[in-house]
């Protein structure tokens, strides 16, 4: 067999093995939740292209499904501080959008602060892009949850993940206000 055929066959076999790489399970602190968690799978990408990134992959063709790959931590050590969650994201065939989200909640479940990156979505098939969210953690906070969102079909990868306190010079994110309901009906 000629040397260039051997090299081509070896390269093809390596690519096939990389594509068939079995994902590793998520670390125990991460799990899938959301509107349709049963329609998604998640893990850690072990392929050379995935570089150990956590992923959330649609298992169905339901374009209206969405789920989140998330982690929650106790808020106690962050009370009165400003925190930032950031990661790089990439998507493949994401029919709606992929992004990050973070929520700060009280013990009774009330949402004290929330933001997602729907205003800067990662759609379709896109290369690595950094996103971040900054929120204040009020004194009555109990839990902080954060992660990636996958909306529609396709796959979103997230790496490296960082969670840190930041100074007050870093602006906090706020969701746009919802439109106020009219006080009188329009007939």
Q: Could you tell me if residue 2 is inside a domain? A: no
Confidence of residue 2 (pLDDT cuts 50, 70, 90): low
CA distance 154 to 147: 17
CA distance 74 to 92: 33
pLDDT value, residue 139: 97
Q: Could you tell me if residue 113 is inside a domain? A: yes
First-to-final CA distance of the chain: 82
Domains of the chain: total: 1
Q: Could you tell me if residue 175 is inside a domain? A: no
DSSP code for 168 = T
Do 98 and 91 touch, CB atoms closer than 8 A?
yes
pLDDT value, residue 51: 77
CA distance 76 to 122: 32
State residue 58 phi and psi, 5-degree precision: -70, 140
CA distance 46 to 22: 7
Q: Could you tell me if residue 3 is inside a domain? A: no
Percent of the chain at pLDDT > 70 equals 89
Q: Could you tell me if residue 161 is inside a domain? A: yes
The closest alpha carbon to 102, from 74, 83, 80, belongs to 83
Q: Could you tell me if residue 39 is inside a domain? A: yes
Query: Is pLDDT above 50 for 17?
Result: no
**Residue 31: C-alpha distances to residues 12, 14, 55, 123 (Å):** 34, 31, 11, 23
- In terms of C-beta density within 10 A (0-12 exposed, 13-18 middle, 19 or more buried), how is residue 102 classed? buried
Domain holding 143: CATH number? Answer: 2.60.120.260
Where helices occur in 29-185 by DSSP H, the ranges are none
pLDDT value, residue 14: 44
Q: Could you tell me if residue 176 is inside a domain? A: no
Average pLDDT, the chain: 89
CA distance 173 to 176: 9
Domain that holds residue 86: 23-166
User: Token pair of 153, please?
Assistant: 């079909």
Q: Could you tell me if residue 91 is inside a domain? A: yes
Confidence of residue 82 (pLDDT cuts 50, 70, 90): very high
Percent of the chain at pLDDT > 90 equals 77
pLDDT tens digits for range 89-140: 999 999 999 999 999 999 999 999 999 999 999 999 999 999 999 999 999 9
Q: How big, in percent rounded to 5, are the helix, strand and coil portions of the chain?
A: 10, 50, 40
């Amino acid at each position: 067999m000629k040397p260039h055929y051997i090299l081509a066959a070896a390269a093809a076999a390596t690519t096939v093995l990389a594509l068939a790489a079995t994902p590793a399970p998520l670390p125990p602190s991460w799990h899938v939740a959301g509107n349709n968690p049963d329609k998604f799978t998640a893990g850690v990408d072990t392929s050379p292209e995935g570089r150990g990134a956590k992923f959330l992959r649609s298992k169905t063709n339901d374009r209206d499904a969405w789920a989140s790959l998330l982690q929650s931590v106790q808020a106690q050590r962050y009370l009165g501080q400003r925190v930032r969650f950031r990661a790089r994201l990439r998507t493949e065939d994401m029919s709606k959008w992929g992004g990050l989200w973070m929520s700060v909640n009280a013990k009774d479940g009330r949402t004290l602060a929330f933001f997602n990156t729907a205003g800067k979505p990662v759609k379709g098939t896109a290369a690595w892009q950094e996103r971040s969210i900054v929120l204040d953690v009020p004194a009555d906070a109990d839990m902080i949850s954060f992660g990636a969102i996958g909306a529609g079909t396709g796959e979103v990868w997230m790496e490296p993940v960082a969670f840190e306190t930041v100074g007050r010079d870093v602006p906090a994110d706020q969701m746009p206000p919802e439109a106020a309901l009219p006080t009188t009906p329009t007939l």
